[in-house]
């Protein structure tokens, strides 16, 4: 049985891209990570542990190559950290939903929704206006969106580009609003990586 295999080679295989090995690891560690997820009662109607784990598993597949540990405890800690981050981001977004901060509401300062998204991704400090004219950047953004996993792509398309409300999309996808926020947050992280960060844009002169 797979679970009897010694840990290190299996983790090595997972890191090397063996989906089967990673699946086994996730099945073994997942339940303990789920058990460790504690959601504040205020947010339970909008977020369930299963939502957190769905995105956590996806992130695990996308990021397994970054894992440094070679023990089960290390793997579990790594997975738990991803889950914690997901939960934290979802709760932050839900808090924002409840009472939006002024600067959050005003990210958009003219321009297309893609430009606004670009402003969000490139630099939280940058004004949308300073980004808006970067049509070139927007075309890169679109290429990067095309490289997202389907579930991430969907939320970016629907929320950031079509500017639909989270609640509406959540209902349509049969997910909780917290799950949708989480997907969006992770999608933004991934987009930032695909875009290479703001500094790269600065240096990309032909």
Partner 1 sequence: MNPATDPDSFAPDSDPIRKARAEVEGGEVARADVSSSIEQPGDAIGRYKLLQLIGEGGFGTVYMAEQKEPVRRRVALKIVKLGMDTRQVIARFEAERQALAMMDHPNIAKVFDAGATETGRPYFVMELVKGIPITEFCDESHLSTKDRLELFVKVCRAVQHAHQKGIIHRDLKPSNVMVTMHDAEPVPKVIDFGIAKATNQDLTDKTLFTEFRQFIGTPEYMSPEQADLSGLDIDTRSDIYSLGVLLYELLTGTTPVDGVRLRSAAFEEIKRIIREEEALRPSTKLSTLGESIGSLSRARGEEPAALVRALRGDLDWIVLKALEKDRVRRYETAKEFAADIERHARHEPVLASPPSRVYLLRKFLRRNRGSVAAASALVGVLLLGIAGTSSGYLRATEALRVAEDQRSAARRSEQDALAEALKQEALASFFRETLFSTSPLFGARGGTESTVTDLLRDASRRLEAGALADQPRSRATVHRALGDAFLHRELPDEAVAHFSLAFEALGEGAGDPLTLSHIAWELDRLAHDKEGGLTVELDTDLLRTAALGSLEPLLVAGEREAVEELFRWSAMLFNSGRLAEADRALSRVQELIPALDRRLVPIVEYARAGVLMRMDRIGEASALYERIAKSMQQGFEPDDDAFDFFEIALGFWVHGSLKAVGFTVPVMEDVLERFRRRGTGTLMQADLESNVVWAFWREGRRAEAAARQREVVDTARGFQRNKVFLGKQLALLGFMLHGTARHDEAFEAFEEAKRLLENHRGEAYFFSCEGVTLWHGMQALELFDHDPEAAVEPALEFLDNLGQCLSWELEGTPYPAGYLESLAQFMPTMERILSAWEGLDPTVRRHPTALRVQGLAREWIPRILVAAGDPSVSHQKVNGMVWGVLHLDPLADEHLALVLELSIKVDEATEHGDSSCLETLARARFLSGDVHAALACQQAAIDIGGVSSGAAAEMKTRLESYKASAGRR
Q: For partner 1, give the closer residue by CB, 67 or 169.
A: 67
Report, in Å, the least distance between residue 17 CB and partner 1.
9
Report, in Å, the least distance between residue 171 CB and partner 1.
20
Q: How far, in Å, CA of 109 to CA of 119, rounded?
A: 10
Report, in Å, the least distance between residue 74 CB and partner 1.
6
Q: For partner 1, give the closer residue by CB, 41 or 102.
A: 102
Q: For partner 1, give the closer residue by CB, 9 or 31.
A: 31
Q: Which residues of 114-153 are buried (b: 16+ CB within 10 A; e: fewer)?
A: bbbbbbbbbbeeeebeebbebeebbebbeebbeebeebbb
Report, in Å, the least distance between residue 30 CB and partner 1.
7
Do 190 and 175 contact (CB within 8 A), yes or no? no
Q: How far, in Å, CA of 170 to CA of 158, rounded?
A: 11
């Amino acid at each position: 049985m797979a679970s009897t295999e010694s840990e290190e080679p299996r983790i090595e295989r997972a890191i090397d891209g063996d989906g089967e090995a990673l699946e086994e690891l996730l099945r073994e560690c997942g339940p303990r990570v789920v058990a460790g997820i504690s959601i504040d009662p205020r947010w339970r109607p909008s977020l369930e542990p299963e939502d957190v784990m769905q995105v956590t598993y996806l992130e695990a597949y996308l990021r397994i190559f970054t894992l440094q540990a070679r023990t089960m405890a290390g793997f579990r800690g790594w997975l738990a950290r991803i889950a914690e981050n997901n939960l934290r981001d979802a709760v932050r977004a839900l808090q924002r939903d409840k009472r939006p901060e002024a600067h959050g509401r005003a990210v958009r300062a003219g321009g297309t929704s893609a430009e606004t998204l670009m402003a969000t991704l490139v630099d939280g400090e940058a004004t949308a206006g300073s980004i808006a004219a970067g049509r070139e950047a927007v075309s890169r953004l679109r290429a990067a969106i095309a490289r997202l996993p389907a579930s991430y792509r969907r939320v970016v398309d629907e929320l950031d580009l079509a500017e639909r409300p989270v609640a509406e999309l959540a209902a349509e996808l049969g997910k909780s609003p917290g799950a949708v926020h989480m997907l969006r947050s992770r999608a933004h992280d991934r987009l930032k990586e695909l875009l290479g960060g703001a500094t790269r844009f600065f240096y990309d002169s032909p």
